[in-house]
Chain A
Amino acid sequence: MVQLVPSLLRQELARLAEEDQRLDGRGRWEARDVTLETDCLYNAEGSAKVVMGGTIVYAGVKFELRTPWPDRPTQGSLMCGAELRPVAGRKYEPGPPSPQSIELSRVVDRGIRESNCIDMESLCIVPGEKVWGVMIDIHVMSDQGNIFDACGLAAIAALRTAVVPAERFDVGEDHKLQVSSTPIMASFTRAGGRFVYDPSEEEELGGDERIHITLGDEGHLHSLQKGLRGVFTPAEFAEIFDVAQKHCAELRKLVAKKEGN
C-alpha cells in the first residue's frame, strides 16, 4: 500500500526538531522501553520475544540436517529470514516477500553472519556428509516503528538461548548452540531534518533516510545499511555512531541477563 505522508506531519517533525524535541516526548537519542523474553515458543529450539514500545517481534530458531556444500564440506549453514506479514500493520499486504521484507531479512542476516558469532565448522557432524543448517525465522507481529532493531535483537537472543536438538535427529546429545558474541543493531531515521535513534512509526512515516548499524562485542562494525531517499554527511555518521555504541552495549547487557551470565 502506498502511504500518504501528511505534510502536516513533516512540518510538525521539523518544528519539533528545531526545539530539539520528539513527538512522543523522548530525547533525540533516547530509546523506548525494551523488554526481552526468551524460551517463549514451545516448538522452537531457541526463541525470543522483543517489545519496543508498540513494536512486537518474535524470533524462533530451528535446525535441520543437510549435506554440506561441496566446496565447504566441513561447514554448516545459517539462514535468517524476516517475515513482514499483514498481521504487522495496516500498511502490510499479503503476497510474496516485498523488497522491504527482503531488505530487513538481509540486513539482520548480515549483522549476525559477518560478526562470525557462529563458527560454521562447529555445525559439522560428518565432514562432506552431514552438517547442521540453522534457521532463524523472525515474525513481526506489530509494527510501531524500528522493526529492524527489534528483529536484530530477537534473532541474536533466540540464537544465544538455542539448544541443538541432536537427540531428536539421532546424532548425539542435545547441547547449547555455540554463539561466541552478541552483534546488536542500532537504527536511526532522519526526522525533521536531523537523525533520531529508535524511530517511532510517525517518525518513519514523516521522515527521510534511515541508517542501520550492527556492532559486535568490541564495538566493531559488522553491517551497515542506508535505506530510503536522502543523503547524510560523514559528521552526521560520526555522531550517530557514538550513540549506536552506547545503545548496543546496553542491549548486549540485556541479552546477557536473559542468558543468566
Chain B
Amino acid sequence: MGGYGDVKLLQEDGLRLDGRKLDEMRPVKIEAGVLPAADGSAMVTHGLNVAVAAVYGPMEAHPRKIQRQDRAVIDVRYNMAPFSTSDRIRPGFNRRSREISKVTAEALESVVLVERYPRSKIRVEIEILAAEAGTRCAGITAAAVALADAGIPMRDLIVGVASGKIEDTVVLDLDKAEDNYGQADLPVGILPNTGEIAFLQMDGDLSPDEYNLAMEYNFKAAKEIHEIMVEALQKRYEGGEA
C-alpha cells in the first residue's frame, strides 16, 4: 500500500473516482475454452485486467522428485506479459510472481480432488495480458474455470476477489489508483458453495471491524462472479459449440 494521503479517492457524493459505489465491483466477463492447444482454458476480463489460464494434464509428474505417491501436484505459473503494465516488465520470473504462483497452487490443491491422480502433475499457466490491480484474483478465477473446462474434478470452484480500504473507508475491488494510494488490500479465494476460504493475503492496515466488512464484501462479490463462471461453463458445454 502506497498510503499517500493527499490523493483524493472518494468524491463528495461518496462515490469512487470511477463512479462505483463502495460495494460495487468492476464489470467481469468470463469465457471458457479460449485456447485450442490447452486441455482446458479460460479468459477473465475483470475491469481492465485480462487474465488467461491454460490447464495441461493430468500428466506424468517429472522430474520424479516432485511426484507424490498419494496425489497429484499442481504446478502453477503466474506470469505477467512484458506489455501488461504501463512500464514494460522484463520477461521471466521475479519474486512477486513466484510467491503468487506458490500460494495460488496451494489454493488450487485445496479444491481439486488431487488424490484421484497419484504421481501425476496438473499444469496451470496463468498469463496476465493486461494489469490494472487485482491480477492475482482474476488469475485464480481464470484458473478455476480452466480446470473445470479441462474436466478435472473439484470439490468446488474457487473465486478470486479483493476488498480494501481507501480514505478510511472499506471498498470492494480496488482499481489501480485505489491500490496505489489506498490503505489496505485483502485478496481472497472463496469456495462459493461451501463458503470456505482457500486463498488469503492482506497488506496494509485494517481494524477487526473493517476486516469483517471487507470479508462481507468479498463474499458478496464471490457470489456474483461465481454466477458468471457457471454461465461461461454452461455456454461452453450446453450452448452452441460442437
Where the two chains meet, the residues of A that have a C-beta atom closer than 8 Å to any C-beta of B are: 41-44, 47, 53-56, 58, 60-62, 64, 81, 83, 85-90, 94, 96, 135, 137, 139, 141-144, 168, 201
Contacts and interface: CB of A to CB of B under 8 A. Distances in A.
Contacts, number: 97
B104 interface: no
B131 A43 contact: yes
Given A41-B50, A60-B82, A86 B88 contact: no
29 contacts: A41-B130, A42-B48, A43-B83, A43-B84, A43-B86, A44-B84, A44-B130, A56-B34, A56-B36, A58-B129, A60-B84, A64-B87, A64-B88, A81-B82, A87-B38, A87-B52, A88-B37, A90-B37, A96-B92, A135-B82, A137-B91, A139-B81, A139-B83, A139-B127, A142-B35, A142-B54, A143-B37, A144-B37, A168-B86
Given A61-B83, A137-B82, A87 B54 contact: yes
Given A64-B88, A90-B37, A142-B41, 18 more contacts: A41-B129, A41-B130, A42-B130, A55-B36, A55-B37, A60-B82, A60-B83, A60-B84, A62-B88, A81-B82, A83-B81, A86-B123, A89-B38, A90-B39, A137-B88, A137-B91, A142-B35, A142-B36
A43 B89 CA distance: 12
B119 interface: no
Interface string B72-107: 000001010111111110011000000000000000
A135 B86 CA distance: 13
A83 B84 CA distance: 14
A144 B129 contact: no
Contacts of A96: 92
Interface string B25-69: 000000000111111010000001010101010010000000000
A237 B99 CA distance: 50
B179 interface: no
A56 B41 CA distance: 13
Interface in B92-148: 92, 123, 125, 127, 129-132
Contact of B83 (A44, A94, A142): A44
Contacts of A60: 81-84
A139 B129 contact: yes
A89 B37 contact: yes
B38 A43 contact: no
B88 A142 contact: no
Interface of B: 34-39, 41, 48, 50, 52, 54, 56, 59, 77, 79, 81-88, 91-92, 123, 125, 127, 129-132
A54 B81 contact: no
A86 B91 contact: no
Contact of A42 (B35, B88, B132): B132
Given A137-B91, A144-B36, A87 B127 contact: yes
A53 B39 CA distance: 17
A43 B49 CA distance: 10
Contact of A141 (B35, B82, B132): B35
Contacts of A61: 83
A-side binding surface: helix, strand, loop or mixed?
mixed
B91 A81 contact: yes
Given A60-B83, A137-B82, A85 B36 contact: no
Contacts of A47: 83
A137 B81 contact: yes
Contacts of B41: 142
Nearest to B57: A90
B163 to A, nearest CB: 23
Contact of A85 (B59, B125, B132): B125
B167 to A, nearest CB: 26
A56 B83 contact: no
A126 B93 CA distance: 34
Nearest to B85: A43
A6 B38 CA distance: 21
Given A90-B56, A90-B59, A58 B81 contact: yes
